[in-house]
Structure 1
């Protein structure tokens, strides 16, 4: 197939079998599906117009996806970038035509996100004609993942499936599983979170090592539909790093930190549920984690020796790895106000 734009080629995932019970859904950059579909939909319904400036904040892969979508559809792009956005990604964004502002370095998930949201609001006050994409709150970002779900359904017909992936904004895992459950309500969804994220109640636990970009939040995201999740895993940086290094060492897959965390969680889930096929969402490649993760590979732990603490409520969790059955419960009452 010949594509009219590189974004159409980059968005399609590769399916890689890691074991009998685990398959990796490996994306070059997962959120290209979301950004392309969202921009196209907003143009079609007249919410935005050709040439308008689209603005949002991002920890990396959404910024790249939005820049590609703007390049394809003739839009202008302004990104307020997390401290986790590396030089390689920033250079690509700028060459694609995006204006990039990067917040000051921070190892606090809460401070990093609050700085970005604050800056977006300042920009919109100065430029009321710009459109805020609101990847964390506008459910238009669910639409693109229906295509991923259709690919999964056609590849694994009549198969008991469990989807395992970073929660983040909620749109990727939520969009895929909602579509899959329309045909098969038994499809399970297991979310992966870092400690320190408010989304499922781990905000009182601080991981001093690093931010696991893109899978947690210090603010409430409207796009997270808590009732879709059957189970949760919370992992610290060292465990996520160990899963990421193991994925490269054992399977030659060079992927990002959230993929390594998902791989560790899926391996555990597959041992407990050998009757199901576990699909791990591999959101991006490992390039932006070379210094922080792969260069430290000698520090990685042996995944075979790791296991989580099983808890019955978020208040019982403990670092470095906890898991609990969520059972499709609604959003917890955590007392946190939404910032954006």
Structure 2
């Protein structure tokens, strides 16, 4: 039965569940972060932190920007986006048509520089106009709230399943918000996080992967919304592995999805072989449109993911490209002394 939605955000946030293997299911979104934006704005309006007509501002590499602009359209709010250099023309045009004001950073291959520039620009805007509300998607836990609704959908769609959720870490809000809500009913739900090399979030910042500005997976700055003690396992992948899996997802399953989805699919496929009794849920955060040039037009260059496997490590000092995995065991962010010494030695 089809529903008639009152606003496009209700349609956009509705996911599709696709079985990729007997124990691997993709949950595919046009824009996953609509859940974060809607949940955050509803809470802020309900509690009086913001009011209709006010301007909210935030920094984004793309899909959160579009989600926030659509949510502002729904709730009669103004939107200002400080956009990453990775935001493409199609996304920028949509933002502008939705009424958002867009500041875009100059071209850069340096993820840290791009993120630092964005934060500095937001601070300039706040100093000029104290009436702006900074959404702080990287740090404000309000962005976790909307994913409780998604957790309820999954509980009804996959009743009784022993779940392992596999998704990119990014800001931490989607995996964190979803897993917390799921674990209220089943503490045994596992969470597997995916990271690029070069991200500070799980200690791979000493590595350089020239192609690895993989929006939505990693970060060059620390995010308060990442709660390390929620993760059971972490995988680090380079760009070539993520690209191989993203192209394979299209070729094998006709799913046109973003790079983070391909990376999560590769990880889930490997995890599923060792745990056939669990259902591995792959978070497909967005479509593949913004990766057309960097990934899909280069599909003939993609390596075959069938024979790929990670280096299994027990210490961050042994982390190595192009693919490593480590049991995180829901521990905190602090790196044990032995790992810290090894890391310093490498640096």
For residues 98-151 of structure 1, give each alpha carbon's deviation from its aligned partner in whole angstroms, at most 9, with x where no partner exists.
011110111122111111111111111111110000001111100110111111
Matched, 1:150 2:136: no
Aligned length: 335
Q: Is the 8 A contact 2:196 2:212 kept in 1?
A: no
Aligned mate of 1:161, from 160, 163, 173: 163
Distance (whole Å) between structure 1 residues aligned to residue 193 and residue 211 of structure 2: 21
The alignment's TM-score, normalised by the length of structure 1, stands at 0.97
Q: Is the 8 A contact 1:109 1:196 kept in 2?
A: no
For 1:47-126, what aligned pairs fall within 5 Å after superposition?
Answer: 47-126=49-128
Distance (whole Å) between structure 1 residues aligned to residue 47 and residue 322 of structure 2: 46
**Aligned equivalent of 1:259:** 261
Unpaired runs of at least 5, structure 1: 336-340
Distance (whole Å) between structure 2 residues aligned to residue 21 and residue 99 of structure 1: 44
For residues 229-259 of structure 1, give each alpha carbon's deviation from its aligned partner in whole angstroms, at most 9, with x where no partner exists.
0000101111101110000000000000000
Q: Is the 8 A contact 2:197 2:212 kept in 1?
A: no
Distance (whole Å) between structure 2 residues aligned to residue 326 and residue 201 of structure 1: 12
Deviation of 1:268 after TM superposition, in Å, equals 0.5
**Aligned equivalent of 1:204:** 206
Deviation of 1:210 after TM superposition, in Å, equals 3.4
Instruction: Identify the range of structure 1 (258-267 vs 306-315) with the bigger mean alpha-carbon deviation.
Output: 306-315
Q: Is the 8 A contact 2:54 2:132 kept in 1?
A: yes
Q: Is the 8 A contact 2:245 2:305 kept in 1?
A: yes
Instruction: Identify the range of structure 1 (181-190 vs 209-218) with the bigger mean alpha-carbon deviation.
Output: 209-218
Deviation of 1:275 after TM superposition, in Å, equals 1.1
Is the partner of 1:192 in helix, strand or coil? strand
For residues 179-229 of structure 1, give each alpha carbon's deviation from its aligned partner in whole angstroms, at most 9, with x where no partner exists.
111111110000000111111101111101230001111111111111000
Q: Is the 8 A contact 2:31 2:286 kept in 1?
A: yes
Unpaired runs of at least 5, structure 2: 342-347
Is the partner of 1:183 in helix, strand or coil? coil
For 1:250-289, what aligned pairs fall within 5 Å after superposition?
Answer: 250-289=252-291
Matched, 1:181 2:183: yes
**Aligned equivalent of 1:311:** 313
Distance (whole Å) between structure 1 residues aligned to residue 271 and residue 124 of structure 2: 44
The structure 1 segments of at least 4 consecutive aligned residues displaced by more than 2 Å after TM superposition are: 332-335
Distance (whole Å) between structure 1 residues aligned to residue 281 and residue 195 of structure 2: 17
Distance (whole Å) between structure 2 residues aligned to residue 166 and residue 306 of structure 1: 19
Distance (whole Å) between structure 2 residues aligned to residue 214 and residue 127 of structure 1: 29
For 1:226-237, what aligned pairs fall within 5 Å after superposition?
Answer: 226-237=228-239
Q: Is the 8 A contact 2:167 2:261 kept in 1?
A: yes
**Aligned equivalent of 1:137:** 139
Deviation of 1:308 after TM superposition, in Å, equals 0.7
Deviation of 1:267 after TM superposition, in Å, equals 0.5
Q: Is the 8 A contact 1:24 1:281 kept in 2?
A: yes
Deviation of 1:332 after TM superposition, in Å, equals 2.3
Q: Is the 8 A contact 1:193 1:233 kept in 2?
A: yes
What is the CA RMSD across the aligned residues, in angstroms? 1.1
Distance (whole Å) between structure 1 residues aligned to residue 146 and residue 255 of structure 2: 25
Q: Is the 8 A contact 1:247 1:254 kept in 2?
A: yes
